[in-house]
Structure 1
Amino acid sequence: MSLPELDLQIIYARIAWGLIAASMLLSVLPTLLPKIFPQLAQRHKAIVTTTVAVVMLLPGEASPAYWLTLVFQYPSGLLTGYSLVALLARWRERPVIFPLHPAFALLLTVTGVVLYLDAFGVLALGLYYRGFDSGAATVLTCVAAVAGAAAVLFRYAGTAGMALLTSVLLFSLLRLPSGNLWDALLDPLLWAWALGSVILEVRRRHALRKAAQLENMEEPAPELLQARTAAEQ
């Protein structure tokens, strides 16, 4: 079992929480800053990113990253990867879709449920501890790397693929964030985001199905159309 150095974890926490905070702020502030400070409209991305970086790099308890790590532990490499990809997209003025890809969100949601039930002793499978095992972790890391590369190559959930590759690289090269593969792929915040994405997708599909049913009810049946045509003739 190989664990990362504590100093490396502290540096990772500062950078990761900075990326997460910057990507979240840039999803909200572009609509607010131009109204409050019109002169900053063209520079808001640089201002937000620089401010977050400076604040996160403050020493000890003065840094928000210190308290965020105490509450949420280290963010997963996957969440960090998502934040990095979203931040780069917003920097290039490209649209960023808030919900995760439905298939990927469902996979993360189900995986999180199984892991949390296992951690609470409901299933007692010992899955989390296998994330430290070199054999099982190596196989799963290879599978995740291939899946991420395929998603990017075939342009199917490309954002998820790039984020997944980022998390795999962080774990493979630096053993971040904790030396456990599951911590590199999932954390409570990411699981809540995935669950929310699944709920939104279910609601969207339900609304589409309901709209289609209403359209079918409004359209007269072929037999009625034929009867009306015959009566008019």
Structure 2
Amino acid sequence: MSLPELELQIIYARIAWGLVAASMLLSVLPTVLPKIFPQLARRTKAIVIGTVALMMVLPGEASPAHWLTLVFQYPSGLLTGYSLVALLARWRERPVIFPLHPAFALLLTVIGVVLYLDAFGVIAVGLYYRGFDSGAAAVLTVAAAVAGAAAVYFRYAGTAGAALLTSVLLFSLLRLPSGNLWDALLDPLLWAWAVGSVIWAAVRRYQARKAALLAPVVPPVEVDVEPELAQARAAAIDIEQVQYK
């Protein structure tokens, strides 16, 4: 078991919380305050990012990162990766998608429930401490890296895949944020985000199914799509009329 240096953790906390705060501000401001921030120009985005960075690097208790770390601990590498990807997307003026990918959100929700039950002693299998084990952590790290690379390559939940690869690199190279693999993949904020995304996806699916059931049934309209058959019928009608006369 190898743990990161305390100085490296402090630096990581400043950078990670800065990425989280900047990405949230650039995503939320145009939505919450559309009259004040109808569309953020690149100059405004640079000012927001610079201001957040200056606040996070303040020494000691003057930095918001100090208090955020006391309350929420270190951001997971996955949340940091999501924030970095979202920040790049906001800089390129791509649309904001607040919910996580449903499949990925469901996976994080289940993992979080199992880990929290284990931490509270409900199931008591020592799953969290396996994250410090070199053998188990190595296998899970390789599996996470393969899953992230596949998601990016096949363009299925590409954002989640890129964020997952970022978290794997942080853990593999620097053992951040705490030396435990589970802390690199999940944290309370990310888990709450995943739970909210699952609920949102479930509500939308229920509403879509309900709308489909309540939609009026329109009988099919028979349309003669064969012009040659229509001409033949018209000719037959004309012949019958001539014979009748």
Partner in structure 2 of residue 17 of structure 1? 17
Partner in structure 1 of residue 217 of structure 2? 219
* CA offset digits 1:112-157 (Å, max 9, x no partner): 0000000000000100000000000000000000000000000000
- Cα offset, 1:94, TM superposition: 1.0
What SS class does the counterpart of residue 177 from structure 1 fall into? coil
Partner in structure 2 of residue 86 of structure 1? 86
- Kept in 2: contact 1:148–1:160 (CA 8 A): yes
Change (3 A) 1:33 1:135: same
What SS class does the counterpart of residue 194 from structure 2 fall into? helix
What SS class does the counterpart of residue 123 from structure 1 fall into? coil
- Kept in 2: contact 1:33–1:44 (CA 8 A): no
What SS class does the counterpart of residue 132 from structure 2 fall into? coil
Which amino acid in the other structure matches residue 89 of structure 2?
A
Change (3 A) 1:67 1:203: same
Change (3 A) 1:51 1:123: same
After TM superposition, list the pairs within 5 Å mapping 1:103-118 onto structure 2: 103-118=103-118
In the alignment of these two chains, the number of paired residues is 221
Which amino acid in the other structure matches residue 211 of structure 1?
A
How many percent identity over aligned positions?
Answer: 85
Aligned-residue RMSD, C-alpha: 2.0
Aligned equivalents of 1:206, 1:12: Cα separation in 2: 41
After TM superposition, list the pairs within 5 Å mapping 1:128-147 onto structure 2: 128-147=128-147
- Cα offset, 1:29, TM superposition: 2.3
- TM-score, normalization by structure 2: 0.86
What SS class does the counterpart of residue 48 from structure 1 fall into? helix
Which amino acid in the other structure matches residue 121 of structure 1?
G
Gaps spanning 5+ residues in structure 2: where? 222-245
Partner in structure 2 of residue 201 of structure 1? 201
* CA offset digits 1:170-195 (Å, max 9, x no partner): 00000000000000000000000000
- Cα offset, 1:219, TM superposition: 1.3
After TM superposition, list the pairs within 5 Å mapping 1:1-233 onto structure 2: 1-30=1-30, 35-36=35-36, 41-215=41-215, 218-219=216-217
Which amino acid in the other structure matches residue 196 of structure 1?
G
Aligned equivalents of 2:204, 2:130: Cα separation in 1: 37
Aligned equivalents of 2:71, 2:34: Cα separation in 1: 33
* CA offset digits 1:11-52 (Å, max 9, x no partner): 0000000000000000122457784489x8452100100000
Aligned equivalents of 1:31, 1:147: Cα separation in 2: 32
- Kept in 2: contact 1:34–1:41 (CA 8 A): no
* CA offset digits 1:31-89 (Å, max 9, x no partner): 57784489x84521001000000000000000000000000000000000000000000
Which amino acid in the other structure matches residue 161 of structure 2?
G
- Kept in 2: contact 1:30–1:44 (CA 8 A): no
- Higher alpha-carbon Rg: 2
- Kept in 1: contact 2:30–2:37 (CA 8 A): no
Change (3 A) 1:113 1:7: same
- Cα offset, 1:96, TM superposition: 2.7
- Kept in 2: contact 1:33–1:41 (CA 8 A): no
Aligned equivalents of 1:30, 1:174: Cα separation in 2: 35
Aligned equivalents of 2:104, 2:9: Cα separation in 1: 27
Change (3 A) 1:47 1:142: same
Partner in structure 2 of residue 231 of structure 1? none
- Cα offset, 1:95, TM superposition: 1.4
- TM-score, normalization by structure 1: 0.90
- Kept in 2: contact 1:109–1:191 (CA 8 A): yes
